[in-house]
Amino acid sequence: MILAGPSSSGKSTFLLKFIAGSSELIDPSPKSILYCFGEMNNIVPLLQKSGVGVFAGVPTEELIKKYPKPLLLILDDLLLSINEKYLSELFTKKSHHQNFSIIFVTQNLFDPKIKVARQNSQYIIVMRSPNSMLSVRNIGVQLFPRQLDYFLDAYRQATKHPYGYLVIDMHASSDPTLRLRTNIFKDDEEKLIFIPKNEFVRSMSRVRSERGARHVINQKGGGVGVFAALLTPILV
């Protein structure tokens, strides 16, 4: 997974929530968590108190092997210090063979050094970034070339509030119509999924009652709120 956003966009808050809920968000649940950072920050003491392993700098393969598996490995603010080949191998060969998941935290989603990592990420989290719409558009062009308006509208709705974020689900087994979402944590009041306008209209056109409409919405959203991008929000 890649978590991308500028300074003060809410990446640290997202990380803390994700770590706290990792047993529910990751399957299988991690038996250990290792947080590696480039510069000392205010979440390091919080993680240490909660029992998370912390390490200053790029972790060696020997260090990673010491932690019980499955492992959640978090690399925060290490873009400048990590070797490109090593990062690529972590996201491809090593994570699969050694049974660990990776979260790479960066301010620049399109740095050439993380190209392989980005292409092999099953999830990309894009934080609110008013000054980086070109980068947001670029990721939309790459991942949703035929649905760019849908992607951009989902991003705008997901990030309209401070610390907002859009989850891009690129997992091979995921429903193609359910790839964009936000508010994924247990304590979020309303979990939201953005579905393509045409898919939503096509599904709703086949129903003949309010009960049938709610059934379609629950199928699409698993009982959570659903946004048809470019349409009025529909909350269940």
In this structure, what CATH number is given to the domain that contains residue 20?
3.40.50
Q: Which structure tokens are listed for 132?
A: 């980086």
Is the peptide bond preceding residue 59 cis, with omega within 30 degrees of 0?
no
In a domain, 179, yes or no: no
pLDDT for position 130: 80
Give burial (CB, 10 Å; 0-12/13-18/19+) of 209.
Answer: exposed
**What are residue 113's phi and psi, to 5 degrees?**
-65, -25
In a domain, 109, yes or no: yes
Q: Which pTM value belongs to this model?
A: 0.85
Is the peptide bond preceding residue 28 cis, with omega within 30 degrees of 0?
yes
- Which residue type is seen at 34? L
The residues that bridge with 35 in the sheet, in sequence order, are: 54, 74
Helices (H) then strands (E): counts for the chain: 11, 10
The distance of Cα 30 from the centroid of its chain, to the nearest Å, equals 17
In a domain, 17, yes or no: yes
In a domain, 98, yes or no: yes
pLDDT for position 190: 85
pLDDT for position 219: 53
In a domain, 174, yes or no: no
pLDDT for position 235: 34
pLDDT for position 227: 44
Residues constituting the chain: 236
**Domain span at 99:** 2-121
- The number of folded domains in the chain is 1
Burial letters 49-70, b for 16+ CB under 10 A, else e? eeebbbbeebbeeeebeebeeb
In a domain, 159, yes or no: no
H/E stretch holding 86 reads helix 84-89
First vs last C-alpha separation in the chain: 29
In a domain, 127, yes or no: no
Low-confidence ranges of the chain (pLDDT < 50): 204-207, 209-210, 212-214, 216-217, 220-236
In a domain, 235, yes or no: no
Q: Which structure tokens are listed for 196?
A: 């393509």
Q: Which structure tokens are listed for 88?
A: 């690529």
